């Protein structure tokens, strides 16, 4: 799908179902990052902005990218309303096209999935290359479907964290896998119902 079409698709999603006024951060982000010293973070596919707002509240300077201008405009407004406007730069951008020229200490990509085919690997590799030595790449993917997921195919197979890692350009002399597991969590759907779901969590650290 071309950038303009993807932007229209996700703008329609966020127009039809506006992002929450108080978006919550993703659980895996909080448990992974809470103890890290703040620095510069890049959030790929920031969506409702719960992760960016939480990171900024922890002292991080966040560049939040999303192909939907509806999402990034809403995030900019929420950041300003919370006095975090100087810590969050929310930009409408297709990460497949390019990435900002910045150096960072954390790249996060949470549930960076689309209901249409999209090769995200080049963008993840490009984002990883922006990390300073010691910086981390955190990729959290779905590992199971919820009743409200767009994909209800009973045979769907989600790549494991190690399979995701294998697709990336992570030579062992420069990268260390710190975490690759599949924890469960109770997720809340759009209608407020809950379900147990599996996350696929990959955390890698740039060592040199
Ligand atoms: C399933 S949502 C996840 C949003 C958020 N990270 C979260 O955890 O709730 C995927 C997000 O990726 C964004 N996205 C999809 N393709 C993109 C692309 N090529 N460049 C930038 N953002 C993209 C969508 O607009 C959407 O906000």
| Ligand 1 centroid, distance to 94 Cα (angstroms) | 10
Q: What is the pLDDT of residue 38?
A: 98
pLDDT mean across residues, the chain: 95
* Residues within a 6 A CB radius of ligand 1: 6, 10, 26, 45-48, 65-68, 71, 94-96, 110-114, 118
Q: Rounded to whole angstroms, how far apart are CA atoms 165 and 169? A: 8
131-158 pLDDT, tens per residue?
999 999 999 999 999 888 888 887 889 9
On the question of pLDDT at 92 being above 90, the answer is yes
Greater confidence, 42 or 21?
Answer: 42
Give the pairing type, strands 184-188 and 88-92: unpaired
Task: Provide the Cα torsion 30, 31, 32, 38; round to 10°.
Answer: 50
- In testing the pocket of ligand 1, which one of 4, 24, 47 has its CB within 8 Å of the most ligand atoms? 47
CB atoms within 10 A of CB 145: 17
The structural domains of the chain, ordered by start, are 3-206 (3.40.50.150)
Q: What is the pLDDT of residue 138?
A: 98
CB atoms within 10 A of CB 74: 22
Cβ-count burial of 191 within 10 angstroms (0-12 exposed, 13-18 middle, 19+ buried)? exposed
24-62 pLDDT, tens per residue?
999 999 999 999 999 999 999 999 999 999 999 999 999
């Amino acid at each position: 799908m071309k950038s303009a079409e993807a932007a229209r698709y996700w703008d329609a999603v966020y127009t039809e179902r506006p992002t929450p006024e108080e978006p919550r951060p993703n659980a895996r982000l909080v448990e992974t990052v809470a103890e890290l010293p703040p620095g510069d973070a890049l959030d790929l596919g920031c969506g409702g902005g719960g992760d960016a707002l939480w990171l900024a509240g922890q002292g991080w300077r966040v560049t939040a990218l999303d192909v939907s201008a509806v999402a990034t405009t809403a995030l900019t407004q929420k950041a300003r309303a919370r006095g975090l406007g100087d810590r969050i730069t929310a930009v409408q951008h297709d990460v497949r096209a390019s990435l900002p020229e910045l150096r960072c200490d954390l790249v996060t990509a949470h549930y960076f999935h689309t209901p249409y085919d999209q090769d995200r690997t080049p963008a993840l590799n490009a984002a990883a290359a922006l990390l300073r030595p010691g910086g981390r790449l955190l990729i959290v993917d779905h590992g199971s479907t919820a009743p409200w997921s767009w994909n209800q195919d009973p045979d769907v197979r989600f790549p494991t964290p190690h399979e995701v890692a294998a697709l990336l350009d992570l030579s062992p002399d420069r990268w260390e896998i710190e975490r690759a597991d599949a924890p469960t969590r109770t997720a809340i759907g759009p209608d407020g119902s809950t379900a147990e779901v599996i996350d696929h969590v990959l955390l890698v650290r740039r060592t040199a």
